[in-house]
Amino acid sequence: MKRIIKHMIILSGMLFAACYQDADEVPVVVLGADADEYVVSQNRGEITVPVISDAEFTVSFVSDADWAEFVGFAGQRTAKIAGDRDVTIAYAENTGVSRYFDIELARGNRRQIVRIKQKGIYNNDILCPDRNILADWVQGERYARLLTLIPHDRIDISVVYDDGSDGWIVEYALMNNFFVFTAASNDTGAERSAAVMFSARNGWDEVCTECIRITQSPRDADYVAVSFADLRGMLNTAGSVVIDSNLMLAGRVVNDNSEGNGGPVPNLTVSLLDTAMADRTVFIQSEDGSSGVKVVFDSAADNNLRRYDAVTLCLRGMTLRRDGGGVDDPVRYTLEGAAECNVLSSSAGSAAAVVRKVRTINELTDEDMYTFVTLSDCEIPIRKGPFAPISQTFRNIMGTYPMVIRDRTGGTMYMMNNVSCDYARNGKMMPYGSGEVSGVVVHEPCDQFEWNISEAASMTAAGYLENQIFGIGNIGRYQIRPVSREDIALASDFADGFSEMICEFRWFNSDYDAISRNVDDNNHLWATYSAFSVGSGCQALDPIGRANGEMWHTDASHPITSRADHTYLGPVSATGGFADFTNGNGVYDASGNSAHFSITGTLATNGTIDTPNGSAWRHTYWYLANTFQAWTVRFSTAEIGSEHAPMSVQFGAIDCSSVSFGAPRYWKVQYSTDAASWNDIADYTVPDMIMATNRKFWQSPAFKYMSFTLPASADVWNKESVYIRLIPSSNRAGTQYAYDGTAIVPNRESALNYFAVRCNK
């Protein structure tokens, strides 16, 4: 620290002295490109480098790259260019490996090197498909595949032995894309292992590395192969057992964390996430796809497995745990405490090696747990926002956002997307059509959506502190976790799906001229979209047209007002700025060509849509004169027959603001054809918004999306009017200290940011 301070003082003195020198003695030279490095594709093309300079400057090729030249200076390797001008360079197609060239910008004593990297048709890194090798005890020659276009004499090899067992790899060499080695006989009576490290500089002059782990079994090794059925048979009830023998389990890896969604990101405390869990979690299924197990490594560094690897694990030292068995708690098996040495062998595979299992949502069983499944005829029934529409301010307390999905039969479940995964908030709209959703079938809680107060009370009675109670928010028996964005194979356009929209409400706007108005007074909303524009009572405000559907609140003495929500498409930068907000939250008007709800507020870090009206709406009175108040929606099915069944309802809801509590916790959704006799569809809960100064596990930084299917017996077809209402089912509400610690409080908001009624085409 003293040395740094001393240098700062000297530098300050130099600057101070410079201030008293004449400008002619210390000229200020302005010169610079906006980046030091650019990457271009392997195709032929041009790259433009913007340069700021207050006078003429020189640009020169530093590298000997005959495949590139300055545009406008044919044949010249050095050119003089006037100030504040772009430098454009043409480059040829690259039919080989990656390559680069450097150019130098120069003016006076000022220099800058700019590197242009060009991709190649071929990858010239080092790849080891066989990343883990099990060698038997007998001395002999073995080999492992090593794929690279880098000349072998440019690859450095080093061997790092574990546990001090040096020298038993007695010879090794690279031959014809194989690493060939000889291991001495193992008479030590114990396993031994080593890591073989490969490193070289690639075509971009960057160091690339790869590693192979070699495990050698001892003489008379007692490895015993076990099947997935054998593994399950070790525990017939919930509990755990430590495996102390050399059991070997072989299977296929069906995930990795290459896109940030390979595993869960659970809470450690109310404000701390286990961000390494996704890197430590591997799902392995049997080769026939009939069974799966979750494997949790001790650290991310221990896990060198990749998706589609054929793997063999030694289970010695690991703990097998069985969970579940309850009404809504599937039986599942987890192997914990895996270390790098537990991976005996692995060999790269492809998607074709994974058995294709196709299910509808309602066909899933406990046998599908931790296996890779494709759900057919699915859709995301929310036409708004990104995959993880949370308030970025509180992203440290919710690692995974469950997005509701449904299928053609009316089955519903949640798709788990980590809020930090590559596609969670990348500026692109969610797909609105239908198709397939593939992923690992899991059972993951979401305390921010649900909270089991009886289980919390039992844990408190057992001595747990409040901030130690988490993982009790059951959101369904099964969820699906896509591993990559490609696993969400849904059509982009709503027209390319199995659904038809009876009515849809996506925003609240009474006076904002930039978007279609859908509020004619303070207590009435009209549908913003519907495919069926029928029903004499279904009026609408221009320019929407005759959209089918109207919404109101039963307490007409207090207005419905707008509310911001967190559906900005993104991305949100690490420093809190907006990368591009022109598409807002991806909501378009009836004409389909006008973006709505661009961000105009200052809540940059939130991802919040904050406009003069707001893309969500709220009401603040829910229990008046001993009577529950409700959101009510009316629409017509006068020309819609039962051949369009099933009918379903989707909405997003949240209670309270971040400073006040007391809105209803427990709700139900009902239907009617006369607005007098109501039939239950489902019960549900609505979470509280997070209180920044007093966070609780059950508080949510995002609206909770839900989808409910009307029963097949519901007589709702070919009716002039059908009604759906959302109404509290209990006079209980949350406080800043308790999940349902009070009666419903007057003047406490509950909000919606989406509502739709769908049927099949």
What was the pLDDT predicted at 514? Answer: 61
**Mean pLDDT on 367-376:** 98
Contact 525, 617 (CB under 8 A): yes
> If phi over 0 gives left and psi between -120 and 50 gives alpha, with beta otherwise, what is residue 426?
alpha
What was the pLDDT predicted at 69? Answer: 94
Place of tokens 């994974």: 354
DSSP letter assigned to residue 255: -
Q: Is 9 helix (H, G, I), strand (E, B) or coil?
A: helix
What was the pLDDT predicted at 543? Answer: 34
Report which of 138, 171, 134, 174 is spatially closest to residue 154, judged by C-alpha positions.
174
Least confident of 375-384, 483-492, 523-532, 685-694: 523-532
What was the pLDDT predicted at 409? Answer: 97
* Distance linking the first and last C-alpha atoms of the chain: 71
> What's the CA gap between 39 and 47, in Å, rounded?
9
Q: What is the pLDDT of residues 273-311, one digit of tens each?
A: 999 999 999 999 999 999 999 999 999 999 999 999 999
Vertex 715, ends 714 and 716: CA angle to 5°?
Answer: 95
What was the pLDDT predicted at 513? Answer: 63
Residue 521 has pLDDT above 90, yes or no: no
Radius of gyration, alpha carbons of the chain:
31
The residues, ordered by sequence, that sit 6+ positions from 365 with a Cβ below 8 Å of its Cβ are none
Range 663-692 burial, b when 16+ CB lie within 10 A, else e: bbbebbbbbbbeeeebeebbebbbbbbbbe
Displacement of CA 57 from its chain's centroid (Å): 46
What was the pLDDT predicted at 574? Answer: 53
Strands 281-285 and 292-297: antiparallel
**Mean pLDDT on 225-229:** 97
**Mean pLDDT on 676-693:** 94
Contact 159, 126 (CB under 8 A): no
Q: What is the pLDDT of residues 573-592, one digit of tens each?
A: 555 555 555 667 878 665 55
Burial class (CB in 10 A: 0-12, 13-18, 19+), 117: middle
What was the pLDDT predicted at 645? Answer: 96
Residue 611 has pLDDT above 70, yes or no: no
Burial class (CB in 10 A: 0-12, 13-18, 19+), 361: buried
Least confident of 80-89, 532-541, 688-697: 532-541
What was the pLDDT predicted at 734? Answer: 94
Displacement of CA 66 from its chain's centroid (Å): 43
> What's the CA gap between 368 and 285, in Å, rounded?
10
> What's the CA gap between 118 and 38, in Å, rounded?
9
Domains along the sequence of the chain with CATH: 31-118 (2.60.40.10), 132-216 (2.60.40.10)
Burial class (CB in 10 A: 0-12, 13-18, 19+), 111: exposed
Give backbone dihedrals phi and psi of 368, rounded to 5 degrees, phi first.
-85, -5
Residue 544 has pLDDT above 70, yes or no: no
Place of tokens 């995002």: 702
Positions of E strands within 342-399: 343-347, 358-359, 372-379
> What's the CA gap between 473 and 451, in Å, rounded?
5
Residue 4 has pLDDT above 90, yes or no: no
Residue 242 has pLDDT above 50, yes or no: yes
The residues, ordered by sequence, that sit 6+ positions from 3 with a Cβ below 8 Å of its Cβ are none
Strands 99-107 and 140-145: unpaired
Going by pLDDT thresholds of 50, 70 and 90, the confidence category of residue 497 is very high
**Mean pLDDT on 161-180:** 90
- DSSP line for 587-638: -B-TTS--B-----SS-TTTT-B--SS-SEEEE---EETTEE--EEEEE--T
Going by pLDDT thresholds of 50, 70 and 90, the confidence category of residue 6 is very low
Q: What is the pLDDT of residues 655-664, one digit of tens each?
A: 987 678 999 9
What was the pLDDT predicted at 117? Answer: 93
**Which tokens in the block code for residue 746?**
């007057």
What was the pLDDT predicted at 35? Answer: 85
Percent of the chain with pLDDT over 70: 89
Q: Is 468 helix (H, G, I), strand (E, B) or coil?
A: helix
Q: What is the pLDDT of residues 741-758, one digit of tens each?
A: 999 999 999 999 999 999
Residue 718 has pLDDT above 60, yes or no: yes
Residue 501 has pLDDT above 60, yes or no: yes
Least confident of 267-276, 408-417, 709-718, 727-736: 267-276
> What's the CA gap between 727 and 313, in Å, rounded?
52
> What's the CA gap between 677 and 178, in Å, rounded?
75
Q: What is the pLDDT of residues 431-458, one digit of tens each?
A: 999 999 999 999 999 999 999 999 999 9
pLDDT mean across residues, the chain: 88
Contact 572, 604 (CB under 8 A): yes
Residue 109 has pLDDT above 50, yes or no: yes
Report which of 432, 406, 507 is spatially closest to residue 710, judged by C-alpha positions.
406
What was the pLDDT predicted at 536? Answer: 32
Q: What is the pTM of this model?
A: 0.85
What was the pLDDT predicted at 20? Answer: 39
What was the pLDDT predicted at 426? Answer: 86
Residue 13 has pLDDT above 50, yes or no: no
Vertex 212, ends 257 and 216: CA angle to 5°?
Answer: 120
Displacement of CA 458 from its chain's centroid (Å): 33
What was the pLDDT predicted at 756? Answer: 97
What was the pLDDT predicted at 512? Answer: 67
Contact 179, 196 (CB under 8 A): yes
Residue 130 has pLDDT above 60, yes or no: yes
Burial class (CB in 10 A: 0-12, 13-18, 19+), 508: buried
Residue 9 has pLDDT above 50, yes or no: no
Cα dist. 87→32, 70, 91, 258, 413 in Å?
12, 8, 13, 36, 53
The residues, ordered by sequence, that sit 6+ positions from 74 with a Cβ below 8 Å of its Cβ are none
Q: What is the pLDDT of residues 21-50, one digit of tens each?
A: 444 444 556 788 878 999 999 999 999 998
Contact 194, 159 (CB under 8 A): yes
Cross-strand bridge partners of residue 282: 295
**Which tokens in the block code for residue 562?**
């707008």
Going by pLDDT thresholds of 50, 70 and 90, the confidence category of residue 54 is confident
